[in-house]
A = this chain, B = another copy of it.
Amino acid sequence: MRFRVSSRIEYEVRSPLVLLLNIRAHASEPQRILKETFTISPKVESELVITEPDKNRFDRVKVTKGGRVRIDYRAEVEVDHRLLGAESLRKVSPAHLDQAQLPYLLPSRYCQSDLFGRFAWQKFGAIKDAYDQVLAITEWIRENVEYIPGTTNSFTSASDTVTQCAGVCRDFAHLGIAICRALNIPARYFTGYAYTLDPPDFHACFEAFIGGYWILFDATRLVPANALVRIGSGRDAADVSLCTAFGILRTLRQDVRCQVVDQKLFQPLTEEELSGTAVSLDIKQT
């Protein structure tokens, strides 16, 4: 499916600073950038930094004086969401994970999986297949956590959410990741553009590593998995923050869009289909 994504963000900065922006679409199989433009006004020096091993694409922007800075990004992206039969996906034991997946088993800033051991095994330990386990986790989250913008902030973590039972996509993802890791299922945070998200915004969900694939899961159920375009992935929101500022800034405006080029071709993956069909935005990992 071909997507047109764009974001226009306007910041006010007080004094020179460096920004690390993470708003470009990812450029790794099965997602290809057909064209893209990235402009900063007023024009300042910037540099594309691609992280290893995740291939996240950061724009490092050197703002040299205070004032307003506007970022404009537009891209056309071809994304081949891979649909997989869920029944074929087996749990990968920590005994067989590659070193690249191991960090995604460990606790991180907002996903304190070390605290969730009993919680996870008690509630989801008896479910046989890993895919069904993670699906049950997302259902539990959706039933127990209310989606309410404004109830959480950038410090909120999975252990806060399990008490406070409210949050936004970021919080839903962090909680899902923490529980997966506690069950020894590698899980990572996913940020992206999302077609049909209303109101339009950047979106976050998570991927669990099952059957050799990073499988997409979205506990918010706000968009179908095949409507997602990857920006980046990491241990949690800290790794793929839309904007990491090494200095003080204020966001004045943020305008995010995501369209499919030929809307007639788009078939949203229904919730029922999800119980049998896994969606991956990555290639098979050996």
Contacts and interface: CB of A to CB of B under 8 A. Distances in A.
Interface of A: 18, 20, 49-53, 58, 60, 62, 93-95, 99-100, 102-103, 105-109, 112, 114-116, 118-119, 122, 144, 146, 154-155, 159, 162-166, 184, 235, 238-239, 244, 246
A163 B62 contact: no
30 contacts: A18-B95, A20-B102, A49-B102, A50-B99, A51-B99, A51-B102, A52-B52, A52-B100, A58-B99, A58-B102, A60-B94, A106-B238, A106-B239, A108-B108, A108-B235, A109-B109, A109-B112, A112-B155, A112-B163, A115-B163, A115-B164, A118-B146, A118-B164, A119-B163, A119-B164, A122-B144, A122-B146, A122-B165, A159-B163, A184-B246
A2 to B, nearest CB: 29
Contacts of A102: 20, 49, 51, 58
Contact of A118 (B50, B51, B93, B166): B166
A244 B106 contact: yes
A250 to B, nearest CB: 12
A227 to B, nearest CB: 28
Interface of A: prevailing SS = mixed
Contact of A53 (B49, B52, B115, B246): B52
Nearest to A241: B106
Contacts of A100: 52
A164 to B, nearest CB: 6
A155 B112 CA distance: 9
A169 B11 CA distance: 30
Contacts of A166: 118
A141 to B, nearest CB: 13
A196 to B, nearest CB: 27
A155 to B, nearest CB: 6
B163 A163 contact: yes
B52 A163 contact: no
